[in-house]
Amino acid sequence: MEKPLGSKVRSSIWTVKPQDVRSRLDYLATEEPLEIRLSHPAQTLAVTMRTPGHDFDLTTGFLFAEDIIQHRQDIQTLRYCIDPDIDGDQRYNIVSVAFRDGLQPSLQRLERHFFTTSACGVCGKASLEALKIQGQSPLDTHFTVSAATIYQLPQILRKAQNVFTQTGGLHAAALFSPAGQLLRVREDVGRHNALDKLIGSCLMADELPLDQSLVMVSGRSSFEILQKCLMARVPIVCAVSAPSSLAVAIAREFNVTLIGFLRGETFNVYSGIERIQT
């Protein structure tokens, strides 16, 4: 019987210090492939490297970000694949999805995702024009938040990263209220996967759009981070590190407040400063 995969594994390591080399056990963040498979007709939609856990959130968030589904009801069934050749065991590296009757989305957008690493994202193949084709419009500017609230987000996120505390090897994406309350957090070896898990969990809870919320990601902001947040209508996106040039271009094009280098009581605003109350 195949067992569900864990988010961390133990491994023997050597710690090297001046005049001292010691062997000990440590935790590593698990990285395993996940195949997202369409049930009818049988077809592989994408393969990504991820940290096991919240695989259904990852699947729904990914399909939502790719504009394949718009609502929780668009999914009829979502389950791990059953292998009839191995006593009907579940395959925890394969998620099988069936769309609701009548839904026949175009799957051409998924061709670039037949295999992705946990970090590669769109690999430069997407564009601002592609987002416009999806019907995305600039966000309004009515949502505001105080700088004091922004300052406290990294510390709150860090305390909520349970698996990172044990492994030191995971990214995180977190959803916050305007007052800075942590609403939910997801971790993964890949930044994009963590965000897909977060948005997917909100989709399945019927909480989209996220137009009255903030999202914070560990690491940097890339094109795909902004694309996913725009699809979920997130007005303020914060990151610990720097954004890419294309992330800034998207933020300015679609009126997203983009914050980077959020560390201590300082941060940079690359777009949408009008949403920040100082």
Q: What are phi and psi of 199, to 5 degrees?
A: -65, -35
Residue 116 identity (one-letter amino acid): T
Q: What ranges in the chain are assigned the alpha helix state H?
A: 55-65, 128-133, 147-160, 162-167, 191-204, 223-231, 245-253
Q: What is the DSSP letter of 244?
A: P
Give yes or no for a contact between 56 and 115, defined as CB atoms under 8 angstroms apart. Answer: no
DSSP state letters, 26-61: EEEE--EEEEEEETTTTEEEEEEEE-SS-HHHHHHH
Verify cis geometry, omega within 30 degrees of 0, for the bond prior to 209: yes
Distance CA 150, CA 262 (A): 8
Q: Which of 81, 120, 229, 238 is catalytic?
A: 120
Which element (helix H / strand E) includes 260? strand 257-260
Paired with 112 in beta bridges are none
Which element (helix H / strand E) includes 268? strand 268-271
Does 238 qualify as catalytic in the annotation? no
Give yes or no for a contact between 241 and 225, defined as CB atoms under 8 angstroms apart. Answer: no
Cβ–Cβ contacts within 10 Å for residue 115, how many?
13
Show which residues are catalytic. Answer: 120
